[in-house]
Amino acid sequence: MKRLRLLMVTPRYWPLLGDTEQTTARLADAFCSCGMDVTVLTAKWHADWPTMVMHRQICVERLPYAPRGGWNTLRYMRALSRWIRTNRNDFDVVYVMNLKHDAYAMLGAADSLRLPVVLRAHRAGPRGDCAWQAVARFGGRIRKRCRGAKAVVASTRVGAEELESAGYASVVQIVDGTEEAPARSAAERFRARAALADTNHDLAVAEYAPVAVCVERLQTGRGLENLVRAWVPIAERWPSAKLWIIGDGPLRDGLYDGLVDLGLHRDVVLPGSFDDWYEVYQAADAYLSASPDFATTQALLDAMAAGLPILATDTPDIHDVIESGVQGYLFDTGDPTSLLDVVSRLSESPGLGIQLGLAARRRACEAFSINRTVDEHEHLFRRLRREASSS
């Protein structure tokens, strides 16, 4: 069978870190492993970055303009259009990881090239792509063109329904995938904690201290301010408990100042971003999602596959991922006592966390396998290639 030549387009990619960046890198690796030829086209955010680099098995090409807004975004869009027109014969399908400027530019250029373009909606809810199109400058024009894509991928049922309500006809739901992690053990937990402490002294914790981890970009709208305030009674009740908030972003300084004001700067740690979450998850006892509107992130799925019990805000999408009381617990982000209640349940029953974590691991492996995700994408890409060849 002829190898599929895939171009993935995203404004942000490695070494930048975040949930979208991690998802894109995960998919690119998995597509390569199944036999596709994958190229990632992205923006060059720093002048000293090379224009071309190999990241693992993937060729990454960086365009000279980063979409920082205004004129820079326009130049980035034009660079995308020129690049795909020059390199059209090297690819069978284009996969754009959003419904924003990248999608607009690629769809405009590819239409005359008979090159199928698939879009992937970035999350659902008030911070998702559909909401962005409703308020952004030229958002209506971008939405109109995006509706002409050969297919639009949604990673959740809620996201698919949102796209259909916004007038998208060719919506395909393909859940994000994760890989089964090695089984958890006391020895691996001890080893991971020691390794992290050697890397960053802020992550040094007592052997039996409870640790919750949250992976999130540090910016407003992610529920982090409420999470920090909700941790006050937890720190008072369990002085050895730690919360690690993994990630970077513009809210970092303000969040740290808030921790100091609340006296939590030794209880809640902001260690920055990690290329890989494996050791963080092995060292932790629970995963905590604070997002007020969308919880089904790559980080959460990976935490489930690592065997961590999930404590997540009660968002519309999360009900398709976990059942409260089975793989973890849901809490109300607007109620400061709600998180304390679910943490209390875990603390008062030592075996409960292990039971919930094992159920989360089974659920991730059965419903969110990366192999299934890749197979469904490949089926879609090959169908579109056949249709383009016969038209």
pLDDT digits (tens, 9 = 90+) for 64-96: 989 998 899 999 999 999 999 999 999 999 999
Residue among 258, 243, 9 nearest 115 (CA): 9
What is the pLDDT confidence band of residue 192, given thresholds at 50, 70 and 90?
Answer: very high
312: its two tokens:
């997540």
C-beta separation of 106 from 51 below 8 A: no
Q: Are residues 18 and 151 in the same domain?
A: yes
Q: What is the pLDDT of residue 120?
A: 97
For the segment 11-34, the average pLDDT, to the nearest whole number, is 91
Q: Is the same domain home to 228 and 325? A: yes
81 and 44, same structural domain? yes
Closest CA to 322 of 277, 365, 359, 290: 359
Question: Distance between CA atoms of 354 and 367, rounded to whole angstroms?
Answer: 20
Q: What is the mean pLDDT of the chain?
A: 93
Beta bridge partners of 6: 38, 93
Q: Are 339 and 346 in contact (CB under 8 A)?
A: no
Q: Do 136 and 16 share a domain, yes or no?
A: yes
Contact 150, 142 (CB under 8 A): no
pLDDT of 129 = 95
Grouping H, G, I as helix, E, B as strand and the rest as coil, residue 68 is: coil
- The residues with which 213 forms a beta bridge, in sequence order, are 244, 287
CA dist list (Å): 380 to 94, 172, 267, 336: 12, 9, 47, 44
Tell me which DSSP letter residue 182 carries.
P
For residue range 124-140, list pLDDT tens digits in order: 888 899 999 999 999 99
| Res 167: pLDDT | 95
Is residue 196 domain-shared with residue 67, that is, in the same domain? no
Q: How many domains does the chain have?
A: 2
Same structural domain for residues 166 and 248? no
Question: What are the contacts of 128-136 at 24+ separation with CB within 8 A?
Answer: 128/159, 128/162, 128/294, 129/98, 129/99, 129/100, 130/99, 130/162, 130/163, 130/166, 132/99, 132/100, 133/99, 133/100, 133/166, 136/100
Q: Are 206 and 338 in the same domain?
A: yes
State pLDDT tens for residues 135-177. 999 999 999 999 999 999 999 999 999 999 999 999 999 999 9
For residue 344, the enclosing domain spans: 186-367
Examine the domain organization and report whether 293 and 363 are in the same domain: yes
pTM metric for this prediction: 0.92
Please tell me whether residues 205 and 169 are part of one structural domain. no
**Which pLDDT score, from 0 to 100, does residue 69 have?**
87
- Does position 121 have pLDDT exceeding 90, yes or no? yes
State the Cα–Cα distance between residues 298 and 148, nearest whole angstrom: 28
The CATH number that applies at residue 336 is 3.40.50.2000
| 222-273 residue pLDDT tens | 899 999 999 999 999 999 999 999 999 999 999 999 999 999 999 999 999 8
Within this chain, do residues 122 and 212 fall inside the same structural domain, yes or no?
A: no
Q: What is the mean pLDDT of residues 33-39?
A: 96
Same-domain pairing of 273 and 298: yes
- Whether residue 61 is found in the same domain as residue 201: no
- State how far the Cα of 194 lies from the Cα of 188, in Å rounded to an integer: 10
